Every structure is written in structure tokens, then in C-alpha cells.
Amino acid sequence: MSKYLLNRLLIAIPTIFGVTVLIFLAMRVIPGDPLQLIVSESDGIYVLSEEELQAVRASLGLDQPYYIQYYDWMRQVISGDMGSSFWNKEPISGMILRRGPISAQIAIMAVLLSWLIGVPIGMLSAMWRNSLMDHLSRVGITVFIAVPSYWLGLLIILFSVLVFTWRPPITIIQLWEDPLGNLSMTVLPAMALGLGLSAATARMARSAALEVLFEDYIRTARAKGLRETLVVWRHVFKNAMLPVVTTTGLALGGLLGGAVSVETAFAVPGLGKLLVQGMTERDWMMIQNLVLLYGLIYVIINLLVDLSYAFLDPRIRYE
């Protein structure tokens, strides 16, 4: 196991290096330089003379050769300094620390919700195959996999505004400060994000459970007179869970991306909203560091998912 872990960690290092290089190049090589991007975007509103431009460029270190810029960026990031917003000079790490927990909370709640809804529906629909419940759940799965999460979010808001004349609050309330206020802000986005994922989970749980149900060891368990509940819990459930973990793992990328649009739909002040805002305002330091953050989170999540397979399925770690 520790050898597998080490191996997996070693592969992650060049990947992370590649991620930083890709972001760095994307931000510099193509449009001249990041500052050019900002200035050309906002002509008429924020025009700098050539000298001013050079001065700003020098103050941001953009007059240095690329390898020095890259080195400086890496040194900053590793020391935890994410720079500050180009427009209002607010430190980016502070914004991440304030908004990150909200985004993380929404994502985690969405995953929990998807298990809470998806696994039971999938299992039941497999066990009562071709029943009315099975047919209904399959229709539901097909629909909810297709529904875009941000649109589901808009529908939820529309419904709550029309019926309850209530809008989700848009200030940052942390869970440890005011649990109720925090939940009223995060539950609905988590629902919008989690329902689609529930459908994917249910679909995978159903097919995994069906596959397991026809295994010989299930017949053996039943033949030896094991109670059905025990058969289901001890044999079917346990063995059907690995593919479910896989789906969740694969879906997390979509979840992180989907969260960006869902947060925008709900105007939740999370990281995704910050990213979109940074992108529309061409706040390049913010874009650069937030995309890096998303990349790192995703790499780490993938690592954890891989490790959880190895943990759940001994065959993988001995390969």
C-alpha cells in the first residue's frame, strides 16, 4: 500500500508542474501580456499612457523575462502569497480563505446528498427490477442527468421567489458563525448541484447492484439461508459500492465546474463566483491563482479517489 501511495504521489508531481506551466503560458504568451489584456479590453474607461503602462508593468514584475516571472510566481504561491486583485488591491489569499469554505461546503453537501438520494434509489430499483418504482426511477435518472445544474438552480430560485417570495441571501455567513443563516445560503445551491449527481450515482448504483445480484456468492448466501436484509447489506451493498465511489470521483470534476455556474446562478459569494468575476474583469492575477487552485484541488481529489479504490479493492494495490 505504501509503495502504491508513493508511486501515485510521484506521478502527481510532474502533473502539478505541468498545470502551473500551462496556466502561466496561457496567461502570458497568447495575448501579449496580461496587462495588455486588461488595457485593450477597457479602452476608453481605463487608458494608460505608454509610460504609465511601463511603470505598472515593472511594478508587477511583468518586465522580467518569463523564467524569472514564473520563478517569482512559484515562490510567491509556495510561500502562501497569492498576490492581490488588480482592481481593488484586496489580497487574493484573504478572499480565498473567506469564500473557499462556502464553496467547499456546497460541494460536500452536494456529494452527501447524491449518496443519500442516489444509492437507495439505485439499490431499490435494482432489487425490484422492472417494477413501477424501477421504471419511474429510470425515467427520473435520464431526466436529471440531462438537466443542467445551473438551470435547476434558476428553477429553484424562481420557485422560491414566486411561491415564498423569498430570495437566498447573498452575504457570506460561515457555518460556525450562524449555522441557520449559513444553511439558508448553501442548501439550495447544494441541491441544484447534487440532484444531477444523484441521478448519475443512482444509475451506477443500480447497474452495479444488478451485476452483483447475479453473482454466485449471492446465490450461495441465499441458499445457506441468510436473511435477505443481511444478503443485501453484507454482500450486495458492499460490493456495489466501489463503482459508486468511482462515479462520484469522476463526477467531482464536473461538480467543481458546475459549482461555478451554480454559484453564479444563486449569486453565492463562493470561489466560483469569484473566478467568473475575475474573468469578466480580466483580473489576471486572480484568474491565474484561482485556476491554479482549482487545478490543485482537482489533482488532490483525484489522488484521494485513486487511493480510496486501493483501499476498497485490495486487487488494485497489489497490482
**Contact set with other proteins (CB under 8 A):** 11, 14-16, 18-19, 22-23, 26-27, 30-31, 37, 142-143, 145-148, 150-151, 154-155, 157-158, 161-162, 207, 210-211, 253-258, 260-261, 264-265, 267, 275-276, 279-280, 282, 287, 291, 294-295, 298-299, 302
| 3-state class (DSSP) for residue 147 | coil
DSSP string, 259-290: HHHHHHHHT--SHHHHHHHHHHTT-HHHHHHH
Nearer to other proteins, 101 or 278 (CB): 278
Cell of 157: 430560485
| Contact predicate 229/201, CB 8 Å | no
- Min dist. Cβ of residue 11 to other proteins (A): 8
- Min dist. Cβ of residue 265 to other proteins (A): 8
- Min dist. Cβ of residue 267 to other proteins (A): 8
- Min dist. Cβ of residue 1 to other proteins (A): 22
- Min dist. Cβ of residue 41 to other proteins (A): 9
Nearer to other proteins, 97 or 170 (CB): 170
**Rounded (to 5) percent helix, strand, coil in the chain:** 80, 0, 20
Cα gap 184→194, rounded to integer Å: 16
Nearer to other proteins, 5 or 19 (CB): 19
Cell of 133: 418504482
Cα gap 68→137, rounded to integer Å: 57
Nearer to other proteins, 77 or 287 (CB): 287
- Min dist. Cβ of residue 226 to other proteins (A): 25
- Min dist. Cβ of residue 42 to other proteins (A): 14
Nearer to other proteins, 145 or 226 (CB): 145
Nearer to other proteins, 63 or 211 (CB): 211
Q: How many residues does the chain have?
A: 319
How many CB atoms within 10 Å of residue 226? 15
| Contact predicate 156/69, CB 8 Å | no
Cell of 251: 463526477
Among candidate residues 285, 283, 261, 282, the one with its CA nearest the CA of residue 271 = 261
| Contact predicate 267/170, CB 8 Å | yes
| Contact predicate 99/274, CB 8 Å | yes
